[in-house]
Structures are given as structure tokens and as C-alpha cells.
Structure 1
Amino acid sequence: MTAVTALCLLIGSGAALSAALGLLRLPDLLTRMHAAVKPQAVGLLLILAAVAVNFPGPGVFTTVLMVALLQIVTVPVAAHMVGRAAYRTGRFQPERLYVDELAEDLQDG
């Protein structure tokens, strides 16, 4: 159990560290947002798994499950809303986009 906990904590904290480095190193808001959302969510889920393994019990498991579900549901929605707001206010670099489907949709509507 200790080895599983340690492994989950190490990989989870490594994922969170990679998210922090992505925020510092990537050039524009959209790529930073992607780097912050994906590894951060995986890192948190692994750390929650370590907590559930290290402290077995129905109360801990229920709390960890609720936090994990809320994280899985809210993080993509929040990232989507930040991305849309950045796009609509022009806080992105259009030359970095390979395909810009939203521009076509905005022109049609």
C-alpha cells in the first residue's frame, strides 16, 4: 500500500509540476490553458487515488470520489469558457491555429 501511495503521489506531483512548467514556457493563452488543464487534472486524480489508498474507509472514499467527479466535470467546462473568452476578446495568436472553425461559425451567425 505504501508503494502504491508513493507512486501515485510522485506521478501526480510530476504531472502538476509539468502543468506549472507549461504555464511558464508556452507562448500563448490557448496552449497554456491546454497545458494547465490536462496534467493538472490527471495529477489531482492521482493524488486523490493516493489518499484513498493510504486512508481506506467509506468517508474518505466518498469524499475522494466527489472531489474527483467534480474535477472531471468542471475542469473541461471552465477551460472551454476561458478559451472562448480569449478567442472573442482577441487574446490569442491566430497564426498558431491550424484550423479556425470558430471564425467560420461566427461569420455565418
Structure 2
Amino acid sequence: MIVWLQVIGVALILAGVALTFITALGMLRLSSLFARMHASTKPQVLGLVLMCAGLACVMQQLHVAVTLVLVVMMQFFVAPISAHMLGRSVYRLGQTGRGELVNDEYAEDLQRAREHAEK
């Protein structure tokens, strides 16, 4: 096995762990739902990518690398969709403060949809 590749892999895993820890801190420290959603999707996904890349470097086996690529691809699809659906449902239920929003374009879209449905 190539030793320098394992060292790079361990460094990538540690960077991924650091980003995941930052995600956990963000979830604890941030107050609004939208800020927490940002903290739970952005650094968490990058942390997972770094950890998977590091694991692929450490393991140095093709079937492990292929599996990790599939894990990363699924994370790229699932994280934004789940964050979007969570934010949309919380907004529609009125569980978030409207004062937190700087520009509320979604309210305008909902109003247009209501007017169109009434016609």
C-alpha cells in the first residue's frame, strides 16, 4: 500500500470530522430555522465528501471507492431536497418568524397562486 496516500486520507477524514463538528456547533448555536438549515446542509455535505474521499484513500480498493461515490451522489441529491421541503413546510405552517425574512418572494408567489385558483 502507498503510505503517503493513507496520510492524505487521514488528513481528509480529519478535515471532514472538523466540518461535521462545525455543523453540530451551528445547529446548537444558531437561533433561526433557516440558519440551522444552512448549517446542517452546507458544511455537513462537504464534511461527508471529505470523509468519503479520505476513506477511499485509506482503503485503496475499487469497490469501496465506487460505493463511496454512490454515497456522495445520494447526499448531493438528498440534502438540498430535504432542506427545501423542510423550509417550505415550516414556512407554510407559519412556524417561522416572518420578520426573519429580508425579501419574502414566496409570499408573493403564494398570493398569485391563490388569485389564480380563485378565477
Q: State the TM-score bracket (shorter-chain normalisation).
A: over 0.9
Deviating beyond 2 angstroms after TM superposition, the runs of 4 or more aligned structure 1 residues are none
Q: Which runs of 5+ in 1 are unaligned?
A: none
- For 1:28 and 1:90, how far apart are their aligned partners in 2? 13
Of the three residues 16, 21, 25, the one matched with 2:29 is 25
TM-score, normalised relative to structure 1: 0.95
Q: Are positions 1:105 and 2:113 aligned together?
A: no
Deviation at 1:101, TM superposition (A): 0.4
Alpha carbons 1:29, 1:91 under 8 Å: kept: no
Task: Give the alignment partner of residue 94 of structure 2, picking from 73, 90, 96.
Answer: 90
Please say if residues 10 and 58 of structure 2, whose CA atoms lie closer than 8 Å, have aligned partners that are also in contact.
no
Change (3 A) 1:56 1:2: closer
If you compute each CA radius of gyration, which structure gives the higher value, 1 or 2?
A: 2
Query: Is the aligned partner of 1:43 residue 2:36?
Result: no
RMSD, matched Cα = 0.9
- Give the aligned residue type for 1:100: D
* SS in structure 1 of the partner of residue 103 of structure 2: coil
Q: Percent identity?
A: 39
Check conservation: 2:16, 2:50, Cα contact below 8 A. Answer: yes
* Cα distance, 1:56 vs structure 2: 1.1
Q: In the alignment, which residue of structure 1 is the partner of 2:70?
A: 66
C-alpha distance in structure 2 between counterparts of 1:85 and 1:34, whole Å: 16
Aligned partner of residue 31 in structure 2, secondary structure: coil
Provide Cα deviations, 1:23-72, integer angstroms capped at 9, x if missing partner: 11111111111111111111011000011001112210110111010011
Between the aligned partners of 1:58 and 1:3, the Cα distance in structure 2 is 18
1:77 is matched with: 81
1:98 aligned counterpart, secondary structure: coil
- CA deviations 1:72-94 (Å, max 9, x no partner) are 11110011000101100112121
- Unmatched 5+ residue regions in structure 2? 114-119
